[in-house]
Amino acid sequence: MHCNLRAGRPDDMEAGGKICYDAFTAISGQHNFPSDFPSFEVARDLFSSLLSRSDVYSVIAESEGQVVGSNFLWENAVVAGVGPLTISPEVQNSTLGRRLMENVLERARQKRFAGVRLVQAAYHNRSLALYTKLGFDVREPLANLQGPALQLDIPGHAVRPARGGDIDACNHLCHKIHGHDRGQELGHAIEQGTAMLVEHAGRISGYATLIGFMGHAVGESNEDLKALIGAAEVFAGPGFLLPSRNGELFRWCLQHGLRVVQPATLMSLGLYNQPSGAFLPSILF
């Protein structure tokens, strides 16, 4: 089919959100997993936010005047994040997904991002193959965890809300672990009141923008992440993502009643440093 690609507009919110909801519901249902988007309204609200942000690039696919797909590039760090990539179920397997991915990767090259990353549903074989063909490498197997709030304290690891004056120390910690910081995300989370940090031995030893799908966390040790997870009032959205190679933290979560919702895969193209501490990625990276 013939499709035109164009920049996203705020009035694409309804059509884009509907396709996003339908696409995620269809593919997850085929594999007997819950959808990342429990309702059309959740998908629509996400699209409304993304299409209004100056730090998120959007591309819309149109056929005969109708929106049939979209993709996004998050441009708020030295590493760009991709997604959600969604295509109407009626036009799946038409190479449109590849065109939408190539579009955002060209944007990333033009903007000279050090790297591009994404998280894909591990049960979605076609997306894994597509991203690999486009140059992405598998970096971490992930487990999406959900469950009731743990309401736990970790001795010697005090958790409190993050404030504006904490950003430099948090950025330094993130840079130490990943080789880059995510300061804009952290600043936004502080403004929204979702960012938390943990202090150990008189210093900031970890922080989280949110313990949930859209949030990331870093810590000097697993004890820091345990403190942040234990203090979370809720695991936002479908839950949070945990690198399943971190067996100690994974077992701790399972032993405290959290359950695996679905497997996922962290992939990268370009700059990637092996993390030198404990971390939880967001649905972007």
Domain span including residue 86 = 4-113
| CATH, residue 79 | 3.40.630.30
Around Cβ 7, how many Cβ atoms within 10 Å?
A: 10
In a domain, 245, yes or no: yes
pLDDT in tens, 9-21: 999 999 999 999 9
In a domain, 141, yes or no: no
Same domain, 197 and 81: no
pLDDT in tens, 173-222: 999 999 999 999 999 999 999 999 999 999 999 999 999 999 999 999 99
pLDDT for the residue numbered 89: 85
In a domain, 130, yes or no: no
In a domain, 285, yes or no: no
pLDDT for the residue numbered 1: 65
Same domain, 274 and 192: yes
pTM: 0.95
Q: What is the CA radius of gyration of the chain?
A: 19
DSSP 116-160: EEEEEETT-HHHHHHHHHTT-EEEEEEEEEE-S-----BTTBEEE
In a domain, 139, yes or no: no
How many structural domains does the chain have? 2
pLDDT for the residue numbered 151: 96
Same domain, 85 and 197: no
Which residues in the chain land under pLDDT 70? 1, 93-94
pLDDT for the residue numbered 2: 85
79 neighbors 113 (Cβ within 8 angstroms):
yes
Same domain, 179 and 93: no
Same domain, 92 and 21: yes
Give φ, ψ of 32 to 5 degrees. 60, 40
Same domain, 163 and 109: no
